[in-house]
Structure 1
Amino acid sequence: MSKNHLKEFGIVVLVFILNVTILGFLLPVDQRPYARIMTAEIKRDYPMYHLLRSGEFDGIKPEESSYPMETMLALNILMRNQMNIDLALSSLSATAGTDGQVTIENEAMIKSKLLEFENQYVSKVRFISIIFLVVVVVLSSSIIFQIIHVFERKKRNAQ
């Protein structure tokens, strides 16, 4: 490899490591790409989701919603667990019977709704998250490479 190719490869690797670190670990869990994309998908399919986000869930009556109460409870549990379905499933069994809204009777229906969300969203959201990360790495690598190229050109012109 020539010196320029090594420099380009090094920039891409550095930008990839920085993006994975920032997007994967330094951002709050609900601001990471996976959670944001999952939230956008659910908002699109369930317009009443904004009431859950605003904390008005307790004021929603089942007859006012166009969705069954189990769907709203499943969305609420999913939201409280940073859109992570595995965490939502484990917290569901921990809160069944102790939470006023999640009873032992409707736990199975909520669990099936969470599994339905998993089948409907998880693979698509993961794919979109990976594409997002690749696009961010390519764009930021290109920008950084162009900035370095401009500085090198100015340096050569000055000599």
Structure 2
Amino acid sequence: MNIGQAAAASGVSAKMIRYYEEIGLVLPESRTSSNYRLYGEDEVHRLRFVRRARSLGFSLEETQKLLTLWADKDRESGEVKKVALGHIAELEDKIAAMRSMVETLKDLADCCHGDNRPNCPILNDLAGSAPALRRDVAGDRKAAGIGRSAS
């Protein structure tokens, strides 16, 4: 099948298939005399594997490692699990970082009066001048009986 058919069968765009070929992740089964790519069922299956791995957030390097392990019928499942557990740890770190960002932004938004005054703790924080403001705001929040601190 041609690249368009392989794209439709795998759910991977033709542009991404070309990129995956460029980096050696997936190669066409063969080429025609006119140099058009031809893909077989094995390549489509490999493209589906790549699509699924990428949808789970695996990097290209991790996906290549998983493809290598998948092709190796003598592999130990422990090697595959090691890759998956490493990826889980990375995801958990990203989730923790994102939760921290959300909390910081919530605190900053809570501290912003959102009125017609120009003073804005959100912009002050982004500009790097918020530490003193945060201390002042934290004191204001305590005096107002607001539970969460701004730091």
Structure number with bigger Rg: 2
- Under TM normalisation by the shorter chain, which class is it? 0.3 to 0.5
- Normalised TM-score (structure 2): 0.33
- Normalised TM-score (structure 1): 0.31
